[in-house]
Chain A
Amino acid sequence: MKARVITVTSGKGGVGKTTLTANLGVALAMQGQRVVTIDADVGLRNLDVMLGLENRIVYDLVDVVEGRCQLRQAMVHDKRLSELFLLPAAQTRDKSAIKPEDMLRVCEDLRERCDFVLIDSPAGIEQGFRYAIAPADEVIIVTNPEVAAVRDADRVIGLIEAEEQGSSRLIINRIKPDMVRRGEMLSIADVVELLAIDLIGIVPEDQAILITANRGHPLAFSSNSSPTGQAFHNIARRLRGEDVPFVPLREPGMLERLFRFWRLGGSIL
């Protein structure tokens, strides 16, 4: 095995890096790929709770880097999917604990053991971002269709180009088709034109994301439940080199919304 290392980053915080990393990890593993997700947000870890693996952490990334354990001891195996693993971040340390060379070394070891390494980068463009992109073969830039997120994405794209850090592709997250239709939100075409990089995914806004995050059971597990779940699987297939056409955005009808709300365990009262 010779894994591809892919870093998910955005510049701005809160655009959905961790949610995307969790769901892409699940989608790739469901497609039979062996995946290791790495939480690079030392001090503010959250990939563990997104994946529902927070109670199973024994060692973390900093323990590996500082030699307190073997790499495989720190990897948490997701029991729901035989091919999915998490290398958690340390919660009680800060980003100065990791250097770019440390990430290179860890990823070099992982390359032999899996198909994909997905690194969830911290927000910002400081140290944490630097070590998160250091081992990347490819970078996924996440943005939302809003002014601040697009601006920060552009800055990050510039930095990655300057570092010559492999190819970067764009995911536009949390798009609201009805707002785009009314002209009250930047469209996919607007964002792609402004940032001038290749698109790898469009993810529509979905309340189910919050519901599934509440439960620690990413939406990608139920791939056919919604356009958003399907979007994660389409991105995973594109990452594997498949040519998957982009689905035109559509707005769910009232009945469909209600039905999905119930199925995901929502309650009206």
Chain B
Amino acid sequence: MKFLERLGVRRYKPSSGDVAKERLRLVLAHDRTSISPALLNTLKDEIITVISRHIAIDVEDVQVTFSQSAHESRLVADIPVLTGRRRRKR
């Protein structure tokens, strides 16, 4: 990669307009629901605790995020469940 950069080949960089839009999407989602990133982390930890009590899950890959369309905000928890085979592998 360093070599290519020296030759003038740039890594893909999103335009600042796209960056602005993505940042706004997140900021507005938080503003509209008054859920801070810190609260989101707390929720994630507690969800992990509760679910781990009953099911084996992949703690590292748990994601708790917002998704948003128009005026609707949605809290999405993506929790990978460990299958018997993957459990044996570890």
Contacts and interface: CB of A to CB of B under 8 A. Distances in A.
Are A and B subunits of one complex? yes
B4 interface: no
A158 B32 contact: yes
Given A154-B31, A196-B70, A147 B23 contact: yes
B27 A186 contact: no
B24 A150 contact: yes
B15 A182 contact: yes
Contacts of A154: 28, 31-32
A146 B20 contact: yes
Interface residues of B, number: 15
Interface string B16-31: 1110110111011001
B71 interface: yes
A185 B70 CA distance: 21
Given A180-B17, A184-B16, A147 B71 contact: no
Given A147-B24, A151-B24, A151-B27, A190 B32 contact: no
Interface string A173-203: 0000001101111110010001010000000
Contacts of A190: 17, 20-21
Contacts of A186: 17, 20-21, 24
Interface string A147-166: 10011001100100000000
Contacts, number: 44
Given A182-B15, A183-B15, A184-B16, A194 B21 contact: yes
B33 to A, nearest CB: 11
Nearest to A181: B17
Contacts of A155: 31
Interface in A15-71: none
A76 B23 CA distance: 45
A252 B45 CA distance: 55
Contact of B15 (A147, A158, A184): A184
A194 B32 CA distance: 12
A155 B27 CA distance: 11
Contacts of B24: 147, 150-151, 186, 194
Contacts of A147: 20, 23-24, 27
A185 B27 CA distance: 18
A151 B20 contact: no
A187 B20 CA distance: 10
B16 A183 contact: yes
A193 to B, nearest CB: 8
A88 B25 CA distance: 38
A141 to B, nearest CB: 14
Interface of A: 146-147, 150-151, 154-155, 158, 179-180, 182-187, 190, 194, 196
23 contacts: A146-B20, A147-B20, A147-B23, A151-B28, A154-B28, A154-B31, A154-B32, A155-B31, A158-B31, A179-B17, A180-B17, A183-B17, A183-B18, A184-B17, A185-B17, A186-B17, A186-B20, A187-B17, A190-B17, A190-B21, A194-B21, A194-B24, A196-B70
